[in-house]
Structure formats: structure tokens, C-alpha cells
Chains A and B, each alone.
Chain A
Amino acid sequence: MNHKPLRECVTQRFEKESLTPEQLDCLQERLLQADLIDTDSTTGPDMSTCAQSSTPATWFVSKRYAMLLVAVALFAVLALPRIWIQNISLPERIAQEVARNHLKMKPLELESSSMAEIAHYFAQLDFNPIHSQVFPLGEDRLLGGRYCSIQGITAAQLRYLDEQAQPVTLYETAYDPRVFSALPDIDKGEKPLVLYAKGLKMTIWVEKDLLFVSAQTEHGG
């Protein structure tokens, strides 16, 4: 037996574990966004503000910058989406929205590897979540689910782990062509639509009158 001091053994145990590069990127991206709020200001320095923000965490918004931020945010909320929406297709918007949700990795509301249990949990939906014929991961890789939405329509979000232990999310919602436009329907022999958003592989298809969107990291090789 290779005996070591307990402290060393425990430390090694923890140091073997690290955030995945995707998780780290996601967290740091958000933290940096928060940092930008405070450090990208080009207005003249206010010494009282500088003194306050010279504490170790300098990422909180002063009142002055908060007002500026509110104005910018209002413009962004009211004007930019109209400009942006005109330039990208609905599938791309769906892919962007789902990719954003996938990267957030919010806690699961129900942890279960039973599709029946999950379907029971999503009782508030006006559809019954099912296992897709073209989605490759089965119940053995199912972690659980949570309520979410796609384009404002309530949806079920199911989380799986792929063979490389990377999270894969599958979104299911009732398919309404008036909302989601015409999307590939595998029941009509059409192939799922594959897009890339935020570095993720997004797959969109319609099956049994439900809209499915999956988000996953594409493994190289």
C-alpha cells in the first residue's frame, strides 16, 4: 500500500477535479461581462467612485454608471432586437436562445433517469415529453429536467450526459408552425437541421408534432 500523509491524499483527491474548459469559459465570460460594466467607462474619473471601487471586487455598478447602463439597456431592449431579428432567421434565433440556455446550465428541478418520472413532472405542459427516435442518448444517460421556454413558448428541458461526460440538453415543446415557421419534420422523411451557435452544435427537428432542439459540444476527431 502506498501510504501518504492524509492532507496530501485529500489535496490530491480534490486537485484531480477541475471545471471543464467550457464551464470555465462560461463562468469567466459572465464575470468579465460584469467587469466591463465598471471598467469600460470612458467618462472622467470620479475620485470618490475610484476610492469606493478600489476594493478587491471592483465589479459593482456605481449609481452613476447604473443610470447610464439603464439607458443603454433600454435602447438595447427596444431597438436592437428589431434590427437584429430582421437579419437572422427563426431557426438561428431558436439556436441562439437554446445555446444561451444550455450554457447557463441552471440547476435541474427534477433529477431522474426515468423518462416516465420526468413526463409526470412536466404535468403543467400541454404536451407529453417523449423520447425522440433520432436523439441518440437514452434513459441511461438522462440526468433530469427543468421547465424552460423557446421563443416564449413553455418547454421541457432534459439534460443528458454524452459518452464523454459532457452535458447535452434536449428541449421539447409543442410545435406550432405559426410560431416556429416550417422546420424539418422527420415524420415526413426530412433531415434535422444542424446549426452552430456559441460554439455548440444545435440540432432542430419536428417529430410527432413536437419541436425538438438539442444542444451539445461537438467533439473533435
Chain B
Amino acid sequence: MTKDHLSDRNKPEKPALFSADELNRLYRYGLSLTGERDRAYDLLQTALEKYLRQSQAPANAMRYVRKIMHNQFIDDYRQQRHITTVELDEQALLDFDVRTLEQMVIDEQTLDQVWRLLDPLERELMYLWAVEGFTAQQIATELEQPRGSVLSRIHRIRKKLTTAMPMHDVRSERGEKHES
């Protein structure tokens, strides 16, 4: 785990357990799930409390806290509504990898519109892909889910994106082929 100092906040030169940057990354991850600032903060706080109660140090603290946040969110969310876990035929998904998202361009206003259509797990995927830079396989590993589930989610995201807006496929314009 990174141990940044807090000199920018005029704190004593003591290593932080999570730097401000890491806490903000975890908070943003919480935002991707909850879609609300207060809930994201509550989720992060609850996850850190659980993390502090662990008797053994995990190898990757950031991933570990994200996992706690994910599980906590799913537990809370399931009490309120059903989470869609429909999977598509794996064969039909060969063309849908996160790389299909790489080729898209969009304007902020349209993204705002589409964002409202994404469910929490789709927003989570977008966060892991865009902010953390994960591939589909890494997302599947992170979330401990089959790659097919991740691909089907990408498929749904792409569908929502293409339905909602006039979008350009950069590679298509260049005449390049997609790789799965």
C-alpha cells in the first residue's frame, strides 16, 4: 500500500495508512456504486471500520477495501431491489470487450443522460475501466465474477450508450478492426 505523507495538509510527517489520494479513489469507487455522495462516504467509512477489525493484513489493501465496499453495497442493495445478473451467450459477446468502449467518444451532456440509465454495477464497471484502468479480465478477477458476466455488462453499457446518443467510433472511422 502506498504510504504518502500528509505534508500538504500540514500534518505531522507520519505515514498514512491510506493517502488522501487513495481515500478519494475509494470514495469515487463508492460513488460509482451508490451514485450519491453521502452514501458513498457512509460506505467507505463502514468498509474502513471493517478493514480495521481484520486480524491479518491483506496483500492489497485497496483491493481489499473495494471488495468490502462492493459486498456491503450488494447486501444493502439486495434488500431494496433485485440486481440483474442476466448473462448473454458467451459466443455472442466475443465482440464486446472493454476495448469496444475505448473507441467511443462522447460529450459530457450525453454522458450525464446515459449515466442515469446505468445501474450500480454498470457504473462500477465504468469506474474500474476508466479510472482504475482495468481490462475485462482484471475486472472479472477484482469482482470475482465470470468474465462472461463482465462482458455482458459491457454489452449492456455499450447498448445504452449507442442508443442514447450520436456517437462516433474512432476506430471504425479509421477503418480499423476490433479485437476481442
**B-contacting residues of A (Cβ < 8 Å)?**
1-7, 9-15, 17-19, 23-25, 27-28, 30-32, 34-35, 39, 53, 55-60, 104-108, 143, 167
| Known contacts A19-B41, A31-B17, A4 near B107 by CB under 8 Å | yes
12 contacts between A and B (CB under 8 A): A3-B107, A3-B168, A9-B108, A11-B130, A12-B108, A27-B18, A35-B14, A56-B59, A56-B60, A59-B17, A107-B46, A108-B42
How far, in angstroms, from A108 to B34 measured CA to CA in the complex?
A: 14
A169 to B65, CA, bound (A): 27
CB of B58 within 8 Å of the partner chain: yes
Q: CB-CB < 8 A to A24: which residues of B?
A: 9, 20, 23-24
Which chain A residues border B15 with CB–CB below 8 Å?
35
- Given A4-B105, A17-B28, verify A35-B17 contact (CB < 8 Å): yes
Q: Smallest distance from the beta carbon of B65 to chain A beta carbons, Å?
A: 10
Contact partner of A28 (CB less than 8 A), chosen from B20, B58, B102, is: B20
Q: Contacts A19-B41, A28-B6: A3 and B131 contacting too (C-beta < 8 A)?
A: no
- Contact: A27 with B107, CB < 8 Å? no
Alpha-carbon separation in the docked complex, A88 to B101 (Å): 60
Q: Which residues of B contact A31 (CB under 8 A)?
A: 16-18, 48, 52
Complex CA–CA separation, A57 to B1 (angstroms): 6
**Chain B interface residue number, banded:** 35 or more
Residue B33 at the chain A interface, CB threshold 8 Å: no
B31 touches which one: A17, A57, A107 (CB < 8 A)?
Answer: A17
A30: chain B residues within 8 A (beta carbon): 48, 52
Q: Tell me whether B69 is interfacial, beta carbon within 8 Å.
A: no
Q: Considering the chains assembled together, what is the distance between the CA atoms of A108 and B45 in angstroms?
A: 13
Once the chains are docked, how many angstroms separate the CA of A7 from the CA of B11? Answer: 34
Is the CB–CB distance between A27 and B52 below 8 Å?
A: no
- A55's nearest neighbour on chain B, judged by CB, is B57
A106–B108 contact, CB under 8 A?
Answer: no
Known contacts: A35-B15, A55-B59, A107-B46. The answer to whether A7 contacts B20 by CB under 8 A is: no
